[in-house]
Amino acid sequence: MKLKEGETICPECKGKGHFQDDHNNIQTCEKCKGYGKLDWVEMVVGKSSWRVEPGVYVKEIDLSAMIPNFEQSTKEIEDSIRDILKIPKELMISEDE
């Protein structure tokens, strides 16, 4: 096994990536997830299990909280322009009128 700089052999499986349990079943090493080596961060927090298997990977993400409310954004822009240019509020033209 070739180690890159900063990597060490997994102390749990001794670099094999697996071990035999008490019933002679081969088990993937939980510490290194079968890779047999770890970097210093993985030694502390463990290796993340990003094993890609055939299939479709879809995760629904709700972006509604990230989309600004247009009216609120417009109001914020008007307020910041008024503050920067020191325009009195009574001189600003409002669409409400």
| Residue 53: alpha-carbon gap to chain centroid | 20
Q: Which residue has the tokens 């409400």?
A: 96
Residues 46-77: pLDDT tens digits?
Answer: 777 655 556 666 667 777 777 766 666 777 88
Q: Give me the residue spans of the domains in the chain.
A: 7-45
What's the confidence (pLDDT) of residue 90? 77
Q: What is the mean pLDDT of residues 67-88?
A: 77
DSSP 27-58: EE-TTTTTSSEEEHHHHHH--------SS---
Average pLDDT across the chain, whole number: 79
Backbone angles phi, psi at 10, to 5 degrees: -60, 125
What's the confidence (pLDDT) of residue 8? 92
What's the confidence (pLDDT) of residue 96? 56
What residues are paired with 19 via a beta bridge?
27
Question: Is a pLDDT exceeding 80 seen at residue 91?
Answer: no
What's the confidence (pLDDT) of residue 50? 58
C-alpha–C-alpha distance, residues 81 and 29, integer Å: 60
